[in-house]
Amino acid sequence: MNAEKIPDIIIGRLPIYLRALQHLSDTGVQTTSSQELGEIIGISAAQIRKDISQFGEFGKQGTGYSIPFLIERLRDILKVNKVWEVVIVGMGDMGHALARYNGYADRGFQIAMVFDNDPNKVGQKAGGLEILSTDVMVERIKQNRIKVAILATPASVAQAVTDQLVKAGVKSILNYAPISLNVPDDVHVQYIDPVAHLQRMTYYL
Amino acid sequence: MNAEKIPDIIIGRLPIYLRALQHLSDTGVQTTSSQELGEIIGISAAQIRKDISQFGEFGKQGTGYSIPFLIERLRDILKVNKVWEVVIVGMGDMGHALARYNGYADRGFQIAMVFDNDPNKVGQKAGGLEILSTDVMVERIKQNRIKVAILATPASVAQAVTDQLVKAGVKSILNYAPISLNVPDDVHVQYIDPVAHLQRMTYYL
């Protein structure tokens, strides 16, 4: 199957596979199996085999998957074999935590700029970067051709900021504001809502 | 179908439906359709109808869903018609942001205690709560019969802390550490990994 046609539900699992493979690689392991990956991730071995087979032949019966090869292929498919510059908008607690987060390295992303609309915050530092005014946000994003943004503003202004990000050319938005965003068809939004995750688990309590 | 047998993939979508319904309700709307919900959430109307039909007959052809009724039923199913006490472990930037996060209210959760292993942090305040030592964590969680925890520690100690949480009786863990956790079958883990979400979107760039 052409990589362009992999269903979105499978694409959503590829970063999870990549994270697990990277973890195995970091511990010095060179090969793995769908069974082992399944136990680490909590997805069935059959599902993993099916997902991975969507984009080519990798494992050999009895010898398993080559971890370095599979990592490289997944990084190619997900386009994280390069480093994407990312902006963060909203320098509250969450914005600060995300600016200082050390999990981006070697996974394809780098925080390039951070913005806030509060004049008292502009000019201060967050994660080694100077906080810029949202007044210059559209201009700076356009100049640097940045395509990826993390939204950590209050819900009340999230849609207005999103409209500006879209105007600036951003195509991928990771939204921490607890609100659904309206964007054009060519812009992707992913939501991080800790309460939705908690609610998914209380069902089983 | 019995509510106990709803597939996990559907359970995962119910909090998203609940969030969208709550948002509509907050704006004064009383009824909605699978089409309208689908446009807000980005899931097909057919999928939404199929999911909701798993736990009873709600919508009437032509009149749509009663929002207050559907909200109440979803809160029942997800068991968030009560308030669950939650502990946060790890009072770094992310832990502080999560302690101060104001999105728990009216969604079934309340941060009850926060812990850290750093003596310099113990006794300080985070989100109005005193930071407690992880030395007393198991004891306090047991005493208060707390079942839900948020893990915001470094990856290096995440598994050791998880083992303690499990020992204390915690059954639901929301993990912000970028590492897969090993837990017994009766303990549920959900992962929040911003980079995995970003990687899911770069595929489309």
The helix-helix angle for B45-53 and B8-26 (nearest 10°) equals 110
Q: What pLDDT digit, counting tens, does each position of B100-147 carry?
A: 987 887 899 999 999 999 999 999 999 899 999 999 999 999 999 999
- Closest CA in chain B for residue A205: B171
| Distance from C-alpha of A91 to C-alpha of A82, rounded to nearest angstrom | 26
The helix-helix angle for B34-41 and B45-53 (nearest 10°) equals 110
Q: Which residues contact B191 (CB under 8 A, 6 or more apart)?
A: A16, B175, B180
Between A66 and B180, the more confident residue is: A66
ipTM score of the complex? 0.92
Query: Do residue A197 and residue B104 have CB atoms under 8 angstroms apart?
Result: no
pTM of the model: 0.84
> What is the SS3 assignment for A129?
strand
- Closest CA in chain A for residue B153: A101
Query: Do residue A100 and residue B93 have CB atoms under 8 angstroms apart?
Result: yes
How far apart are the CA of A159 and the nearest CA of chain B, in angstroms? 13
Q: Is the pLDDT of residue B68 over 70?
A: yes
Q: Is the pLDDT of residue B1 over 60?
A: no
B191: enclosing H helix or E strand: strand B188-191
Q: What pLDDT digit, counting tens, does each position of B182-203 carry?
A: 899 999 999 899 999 999 999 9
Query: Do residue B15 and residue A174 have CB atoms under 8 angstroms apart?
Result: no
Token output for B170: 């915690």
Q: What pLDDT digit, counting tens, does each position of A24-48 carry?
A: 998 899 999 999 998 888 788 898 9
Q: Is the pLDDT of residue A80 over 70?
A: yes
Q: Which residues contact A191 (CB under 8 A, 6 or more apart)?
A: A175, A180, B16
Contacts A178 to B, Cβ<8 Å: 19, 103
Helices and strands, number each (H, E), in chain B? 8, 9
CB contacts < 8 A, A to B, total 181
- The β-bridge partners of A151 are A89, A175
Residue with tokens 């005193």: B130
How far apart are the CA of A2 and the nearest CA of chain B, in angstroms? 13
Q: Is the pLDDT of residue A164 over 60?
A: yes
Facing residue for B180 by CB, picked from A18, A41, A98: A41
Token output for A126: 């967050």
Q: Which residues contact B30 (CB under 8 A, 6 or more apart)?
A: B66, B67, B68
**Per-residue confidence (pLDDT) for residue A190, from 0 to 100:** 92
- Top residue of A94, A101, A201 to mutate, by most chain B CBs within 10 Å, is A201
> Which amino acid is residue B48, in one-letter code?
I
Q: What pLDDT digit, counting tens, does each position of A182-196 carry?
A: 899 999 999 899 999
B90: left (phi over 0), alpha (psi -120 to 50) or beta: left
| Distance from C-alpha of A46 to C-alpha of A72, rounded to nearest angstrom | 22
DSSP state of B136: G
Facing residue for B203 by CB, picked from A77, A104, A109: A77
